[in-house]
């Protein structure tokens, strides 16, 4: 029973009792009965007025509660002239104004935060309380190569590509550097925030590729130049001494002369190989800016195929063409791109077992090149180091080839990738953007 109903019930019982008592006065004193009735009517009028004054604050409270429930903070009440009610109206109006101002501030902050997240060049993935994707900004959608609608409610481990394995194991409140394809480098952080009293997380993905590549390039340029300078100086002096020793060969006994000549030749050959080894490293840091000119991509690929044909046939590798009907004309430095293609095709042929295949595929619009093979795939632990200087999985590898490929394509401004798909096919892909 409401407070209003209780008040009405008490008033009805009270006035009912008063009427019964007044009725008893009729037989005793008619004038006293009339006076009693007048008093009852006067008190009833007073009670009605009191009830109205009593109910008005309740109505105001009910209307205020309803507006708060509807989140409508624009409603305000006018003063009634009653001191107690006006105090309530003043407090209510002040409260509603503060709530309105607070909502405006929160709405503006929320709108600003949304715009900042959308405009951020860093990828941001919002997570729910169960570490599932709750949303992501456009930069993250580009990195994941998927729309936010497709990823919402998915666990981190189910994110496409390498991101699921990398971000699914990301520790909370920590950061980690990942290089998913050996080229791009990202700093990922899982950061906690408070949402409606509950702890939630978001993942911030910042690309560090250009910054780290520049630092890496400066470091190995300095190292190679220093090594090349010191080793070449030593090689020159040693070669001079070794050739001087050759003049003493005729003076030796016939029994010892063959051993002397053989040992001397081994030393000279080794010195020459060491000079060539250092020259290869030095060439990586001496790649000039590309001099671009238009060239038919298909003609260039056919010339590379003719050059590599002896190696392909010797190993018993099948060569497949899947060229677009229209040969794309690309703006490249021909000599540098030839070096890129030779390195990539050579690696593909070496990775394939006898009877395997290498496929060359082109797309005219936009101009793209894909070189695929079904050889031994790239292991995940190797993928991250693939284009690192001096890294090689070959026993006698120097780790120069793919580093040179990276430098040439970066100077051209061509995006590229080298990775093994779920089907076991390894694909090198580059796009000839203008």
Domain end call among 162, 185, 207: 207
How many C-beta neighbours within 10 Å does residue 361 have? 16
Domain boundary pick from 165, 185, 207: 207
CA distance 125 to 191: 10
What is residue 233's predicted lDDT score, i.e. its pLDDT?
67
pLDDT of residue 369: 93
Same domain flag for 300 and 422: yes
Q: Is residue 102 part of a domain?
A: no
Rounded CA-CA distance 216/56 in Å is 77
**197 shares its domain with 263:** no
Sheet holding 123-127, edge to edge: 133-136, 123-127, 198-207, 186-195, 175-178
Tens digit of each residue's pLDDT (9 = 90 or more) over 15-60: 777 777 767 666 677 777 677 777 777 777 777 777 676 666 666 6
- pLDDT at residue 241, rounded to an integer: 75
Same domain, 126 and 225: no
Is the domain of 401 the same as that of 421? yes
Comparing C-alpha atoms, which of 185, 182, 170, 189 is closest to residue 420? 182
- CA 354/CA 195 separation, integer angstroms: 59
The whole-angstrom separation of Cα 328 and Cα 342 is 19
Mention every residue, 6+ apart, whose C-beta is less than 8 A from residue 60: 77, 85, 88, 89, 92
Query: How long is the chain?
Result: 434
For residue 281, the enclosing domain spans 211-285
Same structural domain, 132 and 56: no
Residue 38 domain flag: yes
**201 and 321 in one domain?**
no
The pair of three-digit structure tokens given for residue 144, joined into one six-digit string = 């994941």
Alpha carbon distance 245, 99 (integer Å): 97
Same domain, 372 and 390: yes
- Residue 27 pLDDT: 66
Number of structural domains the chain divides into: 4
If the chain, 434 residues long, is cut into consecutive pieces of 10 residues, what is the mean pLDDT of each piece?
Answer: 69 74 69 74 76 67 71 71 73 80 80 80 84 86 80 84 78 77 75 78 79 63 65 71 73 73 73 67 68 90 87 89 90 88 89 90 91 85 68 61 81 86 88 83
Quick check: is 278 in a domain? yes
Same domain, 254 and 344: no
In what side-by-side order are the strands of the sheet with 426-431? 318-322, 357-363, 368-373, 426-431, 416-420
Structure tokens at 239: 């070669």
Q: Residue 88 falls within a domain, yes or no?
A: no
In a domain, 177, yes or no: yes
Q: What is the pLDDT of residue 226?
A: 66
Torsion of Cα atoms, 175 then 180 then 184 then 186, to 10° = -10
Distance CA 375, CA 197 (A): 53
* pLDDT for position 143: 82
Query: What local confidence, expressed as pLDDT, does residue 361 receive?
Result: 94
- Hunting for tokens 């400066």 — which residue is that? 218
8 A C-beta contact, residue 429 and residue 416: yes
* Residue 360 contacts residue 321 (beta carbons within 8 Å): yes
* Residues 6 or more apart whose Cβ sits within 8 Å of residue 304: 338, 341, 342, 345
User: Do residues 362 and 413 both lie within one domain?
Assistant: yes
R_g of the chain, CA atoms, integer Å: 43
In a domain, 159, yes or no: yes
Question: Does residue 134 sit within a domain?
Answer: yes
Identify the CATH number of the domain in which residue 357 sits.
3.30.565.10
Of 175, 207, 239, which residue is a domain's last? 207
- Does one domain contain both 203 and 215? no
Map the chain to HEC letters: CCHHHHHHHHHHHHHHHHHHHHHCHHHHCHHHHHHHHHHHHHHHHHHHHHHHHHHHHHHHHHHHHHHHHCCCCCCCCCCCCCHHHHHHHHHHHHHHHHHHHHHHHHHHHHHHHHHHHHHCCCEEEEECCCCEEEEECHHHHHHHCCCHHHHCCCEHHHCCCCHHHHHHCCCCCCEEEECCCCCCCEEEEEEEEEECCEEEEEEEEEECHHHHHHHHHHHHHHHHHHHHHHHHHHHHHHHHHHHHHHHHHHHCCCCCHHHHHHHHHHHHHHHHHHHHHHHHHHHHHCCCCCCCEEEEHHHHHHHHHHHHHHHHHHHCCEEEEECCCCCCEEEECHHHHHHHHHHHHHHHHHHCCCCCEEEEEEECCCCEEEEEECCCCCCHHHHCCCCCCCCCCCCCCCCCHHHHHHHHHHHHCCCEEEEECCCCCEEEEEECCC
Asked whether residue 244 is assigned to any structural domain, the reply reads: yes
CATH at residue 146: 3.30.450.20
Residue 322, strand partner residues: 361
The predicted pLDDT at position 49 comes to 73
Name which of 63, 68, 66, 65 is nearest 78 in CA terms. Answer: 63
Residues 325 and 385 in one domain: yes
Say if residue 299 is in the same domain as residue 423: yes
């Amino acid at each position: 029973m409401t407070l209003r109903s209780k008040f009405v019930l008490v008033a009805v019982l009270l006035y009912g009792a008063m009427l019964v008592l007044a009725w008893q006065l009729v037989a005793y004193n008619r004038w006293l009965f009339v006076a009693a009735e007048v008093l009852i009517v006067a008190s009833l009028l007073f009670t009605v007025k009191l009830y109205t004054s009593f109910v008005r604050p309740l109505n105001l409270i009910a209307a205020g509660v309803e507006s708060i429930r509807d989140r409508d903070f624009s409603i305000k009440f006018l003063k009634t002239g009653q001191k107690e009610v006006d105090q309530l109206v003043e407090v209510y109006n002040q409260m509603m104004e503060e709530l309105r101002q607070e909502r405006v501030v929160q709405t503006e902050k929320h709108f600003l935060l949304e715009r900042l997240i959308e405009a951020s060049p860093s990828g941001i993935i919002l997570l729910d309380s169960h570490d599932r994707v709750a949303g992501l900004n456009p930069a993250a959608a580009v990195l994941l190569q998927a729309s936010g609608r497709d990823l919402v409610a998915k666990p981190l481990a189910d994110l496409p590509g390498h991101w699921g394995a990398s971000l699914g194991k990301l520790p909370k409140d920590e950061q980690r550097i990942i290089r998913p394809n050996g080229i791009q480098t990202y700093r990922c952080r899982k950061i906690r925030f408070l949402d409606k009293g509950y702890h939630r997380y978001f993942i911030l993905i910042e690309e560090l590729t250009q910054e780290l590549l520049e630092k890496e390039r400066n470091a190995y340029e300095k190292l190679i130049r220093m090594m090349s300078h010191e080793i070449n100086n030593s090689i020159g002096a040693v070669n001079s001494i070794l050739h001087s020793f050759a003049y003493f060969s005729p003076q030796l006994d016939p029994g010892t002369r063959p051993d002397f000549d053989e040992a001397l030749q081994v030393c000279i050959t080794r010195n020459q190989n060491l000079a060539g080894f250092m020259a290869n490293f030095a060439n990586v840091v001496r790649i000039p800016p590309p001099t671009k000119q238009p060239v038919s991509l298909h003609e260039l690929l056919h010339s590379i195929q003719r050059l590599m044909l002896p190696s392909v046939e010797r190993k018993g590798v099948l060569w497949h063409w899947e060229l677009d009907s229209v040969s794309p004309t690309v703006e490249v430095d021909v000599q540098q791109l030839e070096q890129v293609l030779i390195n990539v095709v050579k690696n593909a042929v070496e990775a394939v077992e006898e009877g395997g295949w290498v496929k060359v595929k082109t797309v005219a619009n936009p101009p793209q090149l894909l070189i695929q093979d079904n050889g031994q795939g790239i292991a995940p632990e190797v993928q991250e180091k693939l284009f690192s200087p001096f890294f090689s999985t070959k026993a006698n590898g120097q780790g120069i080839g793919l580093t040179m490929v990276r430098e040439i394509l970066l100077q051209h401004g061509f995006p590229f990738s080298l990775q093994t798909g779920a089907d076991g096919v390894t694909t090198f892909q580059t796009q000839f953007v203008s």
